[in-house]
Amino acid sequence: MALLERRSGQQDNPRILGAFNERTPDWLSFFMFTYFTDRDGKMQLAALAQSGFDPLSRSCRFMLTEEAHHLFVGETGIGRTIEATCLAMKAAGITDPNDKEAIRKLGVIDLPTLQKKANFHMSVTRDLFGSEISSNAASAFSAGLKGRFNETALTDDHQLESASYAVLRVIDGQFVTEEVPALRAINSRLLDDYITDCQGGIDRWNKVIEKSGIAFQFKQPHKAFNRKIGEFAEVNVSPAGELISDEAWAVSQGEWLCNDEDHAFINSLMKPCMEPGQYASWIAPPRVGINNQPKDFEYVRIEHS
């Protein structure tokens, strides 16, 4: 932690730990955090698992197994939330995913609000990768301190002295894809690998929705959406990838990120369920219990005094 704090104070990345400083006010935020933000942990650990410094590499490999469990918690938690929404919509005969009022009355979270929540967690987590173009990352790679994601599976010379990498930037108010020396684009590449890695769970969630016959798909927002660090920190970009004015951002951001009303609604659903086998309205029971325990297994014993 001391190392993290020191690094977070670096001049070129003063707010690099932003996503870790966000509040986690409800269980949905917790599941979003474990799916999207723990995945940053996975990517950073995977890069350090390639370290030439063997003790670091070995401890990161070990920690990656724990990270996999966190990601599982997030994927299944969000999946169960989506499942509860789809089941409730079906039972009530609602097919329009945007019929927010009617869907919320069922005690479940409408899919567009879940998308907004995911937009937030994806964008703040992307900031954790630091500046896309970074001389620090270049030095760490060249010194053999860290590698790229899946370094051993890559077929180039692993030194990258003459290689380049395409980095999306904003120049004179326009998106431009620029070939940058690959060593300086290590962070940018890890961010791209992260975005690809996020997609697996999203595709599985979309299958659940499709099977329910509801016309809705979760999408990752554009890479530049809601960024505070790096190439896109100074611009406003919609989830679809349009560069927009400050005024347009102010008008529309409540459609792309949860507004006060959305937060209040999500918060209103967070009611404790004390009986074994009982689940809150907004989340479906797990398919199997932890260690194959039955669904009404008494995981926690609450003593009433």
**Interface residues toward Fe ion, by CB under 5 A:** 38, 41, 67, 70
Q: Which one, 61 or 70, has the nearer CB to Fe ion?
A: 70
Measured CA to CA, the distance from residue 2 to residue 18 in angstroms comes to 16
| Burial grade of 247 (CB within 10 A; 0-12, 13-18, 19 or more) | exposed
Measured CA to CA, the distance from residue 81 to residue 92 in angstroms comes to 17
Q: Which one, 33 or 120, has the nearer CB to Fe ion?
A: 33
Q: Which one, 38 or 127, has the nearer CB to Fe ion?
A: 38
Closest approach, Cβ 88 to Fe ion, in A, equals 30
Q: Which one, 41 or 77, has the nearer CB to Fe ion?
A: 41
Least Cα distance to 191 among 258, 115, 131, 255 occurs for: 131
Closest approach, Cβ 133 to Fe ion, in A, equals 27
Closest approach, Cβ 36 to Fe ion, in A, equals 11
Q: Which one, 171 or 290, has the nearer CB to Fe ion?
A: 290
Closest approach, Cβ 263 to Fe ion, in A, equals 24
Closest approach, Cβ 41 to Fe ion, in A, equals 5
Cα three-residue angle 229-35-107, rounded to 5 degrees: 110
Cα distances from 256 to residues 32, 52, 101, 121, 276, in angstroms, run 16, 42, 18, 12, 37
- Dihedral sign computed on CA atoms, order 255, 107, 122, 11: positive
Q: How far is the first Cα of the chain from the last one, in angstroms, to the nearest whole number?
A: 38
